[in-house]
Structure 1
Amino acid sequence: MKILIICGSPRRNSLTRMHTDLAYTYAKEKYPTAQVEYLDLGKYPLDTFRGFEEEHSPETKNAISLVESSEVLILCTPVYNGLLSSALKNLFEHIDYKALEGKLAGFIVHSSGTISSLQVQGQLMALMTYFRVLSNPRAVFTSKDRHFDDQGKLKDQTVIKRIYQLVEETVAMFPHNRKP
């Protein structure tokens, strides 16, 4: 089985990245026989999508290959102006929708407040439905005000438990009769 953790935050000091770091570390420990990869869109900038006929950089081609070859995706995005991050959207603009059919996805949504998180979960679910990806209906929602202290340190330890649970539940959706 191949699990891909994707950090959709382009920011250097991202609270979103803390979540994907937790998900990645946990998936590596929990599933030692799985191939667990990490794609950080803040540290791994992709070409702006200009059409499928365009030539892409080796980094962008590698990111496309990582997504298309993974069976389980854990997507983590910050909320920017009520929307998922443009970095994450740009990644999926490079992907042929036929390449993801039957794969699985789980979502972690981080916002500065609580109002737009469900809206962004809806955007992620709609995006994954377009790609024919099965989505875990239970997402993890975090907000800067509720879950982090003034120094940007996670103060709510239940977030860690929820991230671990999301990884486990999403992987558990993988059909056991399908070869990993």
Structure 2
Amino acid sequence: MIKLVGMSGSLRSQSYSFDALKLALKRAEALGAEVEILDLRTLNLPFCKGEDDYAGYPDVVKLRQAVRQADGLILVTPEYHGGVSGVLKNALDLLSFEHLSGKVTGAISVLGGQANSNALNQLRLITRWVHAMMIPEQVAIGQAWQAFDASGNLQDPKLAERLDKFVDSLVITTQKLRPSQN
């Protein structure tokens, strides 16, 4: 069984990014993956200062251990001003090659406006830099304020199907690239 860890880069209490993450992890779990959410809204993480030691921040240890033990990651970011959220970028900056190298990764962006690939492309650059392996599939959820219903489900069946196919690809690719975990 593979293990996937998911992170959402939004601090909003009613977060569409978090809703997208929950949907993706629910699908992964249905496919047999073990899943864990690292809820950045509840973790006490300092700003990255480029050091290894963050004494007084046990949540940095929690973040690093969870990612180290994962076979793959689902990263969800709201797109702010054409890019990845600072919250998600900071969490990734607190990690290093030892935590991220070889991790199979998938990316989802959530936008208030039209769907585009700016934040997704930035996540591709970031993950490539630390030797993670980003799958080719990605999902951009535009006009999030109308994309989700009151229960946090996607209203457009085609978009929901695209999200499912994205997760299917992540799980299958992770199983192929991390065969010792099966």
Rounded to whole Å, the distance in 2 between the matches of 1:49 and 1:167 is 30
1:179 aligned partner: 180
- For residues 7-52 of structure 1, give each alpha carbon's deviation from its aligned partner in whole angstroms, at most 9, with x where no partner exists: 1111111111110111122212221xx3211112123342222222
The AA in structure 2 aligned to 1:103 is: K
Matches within 5 A, 1:95-174: 95-114=95-114, 117-144=116-143, 147-148=146-147, 154-174=154-174
Percent sequence identity over aligned pairs: 25
Structure 2, gaps ≥5 residues long? none
- For residues 57-110 of structure 1, give each alpha carbon's deviation from its aligned partner in whole angstroms, at most 9, with x where no partner exists: 222210121112211111111001111111111111111123322211111111
Structure 1, gaps ≥5 residues long? none
Rounded to whole Å, the distance in 1 between the matches of 2:168 and 2:141 is 18
Judged with a 3 Å threshold, the aligned counterparts in structure 2 of structure 1 residues 55 and 160 are, in CA distance, closer, same or farther, namely: same
Contact 1:4 1:73 in 2 (8 A): yes
2:27 aligned partner: 26
Judged with a 3 Å threshold, the aligned counterparts in structure 2 of structure 1 residues 152 and 30 are, in CA distance, closer, same or farther, namely: closer
2:61 aligned partner: 61
Judged with a 3 Å threshold, the aligned counterparts in structure 2 of structure 1 residues 102 and 139 are, in CA distance, closer, same or farther, namely: same
Rounded to whole Å, the distance in 2 between the matches of 1:54 and 1:146 is 37
Contact 2:44 2:57 in 1 (8 A): no
Rounded to whole Å, the distance in 1 between the matches of 2:126 and 2:20 is 21
Rounded to whole Å, the distance in 2 between the matches of 1:150 and 1:96 is 37
Post-superposition offset of 1:157: 2.6
Rounded to whole Å, the distance in 2 between the matches of 1:172 and 1:85 is 28
Range moving further from structure 2, 164-173 or 126-135: 164-173
Rounded to whole Å, the distance in 1 between the matches of 2:169 and 2:142 is 22
Contact 1:121 1:139 in 2 (8 A): yes
- Number of matched pairs: 177
Range moving further from structure 2, 50-59 or 1-10: 50-59
Contact 1:64 1:91 in 2 (8 A): no
Post-superposition offset of 1:150: 9.1
The AA in structure 1 aligned to 2:156 is: D
Measured on the aligned residues, the alpha-carbon RMSD in Å equals 2.3
> Could you tell me the TM-score, scaled by structure 1's length?
0.87
